[in-house]
Amino acid sequence: MERSSRALIAALWPLTIGHLLAIFVVILPFALLIALVEWQQQIQIGASLLVIGFGVFRFVNRGHPRALARIRPTQLALWSFTVAIAHGAGLMLVPIYLGLCRAADLDERHQAAGALINANLGMAVLVSVVHTVAMIATGGFLAWLVYRYLGLKFVSRSWFNLDATWASSLILVGALSLAISLASKQ
């Protein structure tokens, strides 16, 4: 980040834009698919298989492209969009849209989020914006703390890769969603 806290702060806006666009690219098609109520179970099964397949892909392909190691400030929003899509931005909202989260299994916060998102597309966009702002504020603050107090050497020496955990969680959630979809058919 050019060894400047000003550059770190300036990077938050393009990161926000990229992440928000990634959520919209993933979630808007699923929001439109909800209109196909008569195909809901088939869509649920397909989405479950897609999540499982992506989890298996992440197990097999664990490497990160080297080209993404150093990004120019002018390309930061594009980088944020690409990485957010690659890491599943917006996928956390898909189970709510597709009805994979049953009301009896949800706590009050998930029920409220589901009701808000299912209310209309405008509310879904608002939920996505609030999520993105909270994620960027938290991540930006943590990045600033690391930059200011621990230094960049800390990041390069202590970095660990969570790809296996992420891939496992995708496969588990996909399998649970598939089981629920198939059980509701009977």
Q: In this predicted model, what pLDDT tens digit does every residue of 14-69 receive, in sequence order?
A: 999 999 898 888 887 777 766 666 677 887 888 889 989 988 998 888 776 566 56
Backbone angles phi, psi at 64, to 5 degrees: -105, 140
Better-scored residue on pLDDT, 107 or 142: 142
| Inter-residue contact 33 to 43 (CB < 8 Å) | yes
Q: What predicted TM-score, i.e. pTM, was given to this entire model?
A: 0.49
- Residue carrying structure tokens 């994979």: 100
The count of domains in the chain is 1
Which tokens belong to 176? 């649970």
Domain span at 144: 5-185
Better-scored residue on pLDDT, 42 or 95: 42
What is the residue type of 172? Answer: L
Cα–Cα distance, 88 to 50 (Å, whole number): 12
pLDDT band for position 99 (50/70/90)? low
Can you give the pLDDT at residue 171? Answer: 92
